[in-house]
Amino acid sequence: MSEPMSGPTAGPRTHRLRVLDVIAETSEAHSLVLQPPPESADRFAYRPGQFLTLKLPGPDGKPVARCYSLASSPHTGEPMKVTVKRVPGGYGSHWLCDHVATGEELEALPPAGTFTPPSLDHDLLLVAGGSGITPVLSIAKSALAQGWGRVALLYANRDESSVIFRDELRELTENHPDRLLVLHWLESLQGLPTTDRLSAALAPYADRETFVCGPEPLMDAVEQGLRTLGTPGARIHRERFFSLSGDVFETPSVEERTTAAADITTAQHVNTTAQHVTTAEVELDGETRTVRWPSGTPLLDVLLTAGVDAPYSCREGACSACTCRIVAGEVKMLRNDVLDDQDIAEGYALACQAVPLTDRVRITYS
């Protein structure tokens, strides 16, 4: 029996979720069934494939953030559920598996992430490895409950005992025999899933929108295999695991240092300690706000400081939860681990890493 969690009430951007149940999926993986308070229920509406960022007590007393995908579906009436698999040396996964019990509360940011299909009516190819099954299962259940397309799921694991959601997958297959095909790949029997062998297994589904989540070598092999089969890169969507190094929950501090108008007529007369300030028009949730955006300051920090409830999760350029689109003006990103060249060409940027290059910038989150 774990000791009750203690700590301050949820911060301005986090919410307390009650743990309704703890389910031992395998010897290494636990699912946490979660319920937001009634006043926060609308903030926790989510799309299949999204994740939660949980706020955990760190070993040094400071909070740490960990992101876990939702394995539940928003279209089946089931409560929210995240699944945590122990990672060797992983502080967050071990803490959650060892300390969280039914009836306790966890602090979390609202759902985020872009690993979600634009339509549930298309045929889908889903590939997962290990705990990468969590967002993939959410997508599969949603497509079967709400859409009309067929779903093929290839799920790779070390051995049979490592298969998470074994019974749930079997039940889904029995309930949707004409729409769901589950292919299990067990390394103990079939060896490592190489590019060539994956190409052969996935060839009948290479024309489908594809979502892949799992260890990096598996995702690389799947993408390479599908590309050799002619699948366009834009149809292959990958969800990456990442660890957060900083405190994403603290409110940023934005200091604005500007020069007098007479001092900025020419570059030679600009004080080197001053910041140029851009005017940013930001459209979010049907409303447009105008904010002053100091040079060198990430857009997300400016928006949060101004009280704009902009989406975010990692604040490290690694998750795409804060993706916005630049419709006028120019920005540059200090770091980008997720957007590709096509995304950038279409105007997409990570708000947590975007700094202004022009005097005026228009941004939309629609």
**Residue 212: which CATH number?**
3.40.50.80
Rounded distance between C-alpha atoms, residue 139 and residue 156, angstroms: 17
CB 297 within 8 A of CB 353: no
Structure-block tokens of residue 220: 């690389």
73 located within any domain = yes
Domain with 68 in it: what CATH number? 2.40.30.10
Q: Last residue of some domain: 190, 209, 239? A: 239
244 located within any domain = no
Q: Last residue of some domain: 82, 108, 134? A: 108
Q: For residue range 8-37, what is the model confidence (pLDDT) as tens digits?
A: 334 457 899 999 999 999 999 999 999 999
pLDDT of residue 89: 84
pLDDT of residue 3: 32
pLDDT of residue 25: 95
pLDDT of residue 87: 87
Higher pLDDT, 258 or 187: 187
pTM value?
0.81
User: Does 259 score more than 60 pLDDT?
Assistant: no
How many percent of the chain have pLDDT more than 70?
88
Across the strands, what pairs with 108? 15, 54
pLDDT of residue 112: 87
Domain with 340 in it: what CATH number? 3.10.20.30
- The residue segments making up the domain with residue 175 are 124-239
Provide the pLDDT confidence category of residue 216 given band limits of 50, 70 and 90.
very high
pLDDT of residue 254: 67
In total, how many domains does the chain have? 3
In this structure, are 181 and 135 located in the same domain? yes
> What are the φ/ψ torsions at residue 125 (nearest 5 degrees)?
-115, 125
pLDDT of residue 215: 93
Higher pLDDT, 276 or 10: 276
pLDDT of residue 88: 86
Q: For residue range 339-353, what is the model confidence (pLDDT) as tens digits?
A: 888 889 999 999 999
Q: What is the mean pLDDT of the chain?
A: 87
H, E, C per residue of 190-207? HCCCCHHHHHHHHHHHCC
How many percent of the chain have pLDDT more than 90?
70
Task: For 329-351, give one letter per residue: b (16+ CB within 10 A) or e.
Answer: bebebeebebbeeebeeeebbbb
pLDDT of residue 272: 39
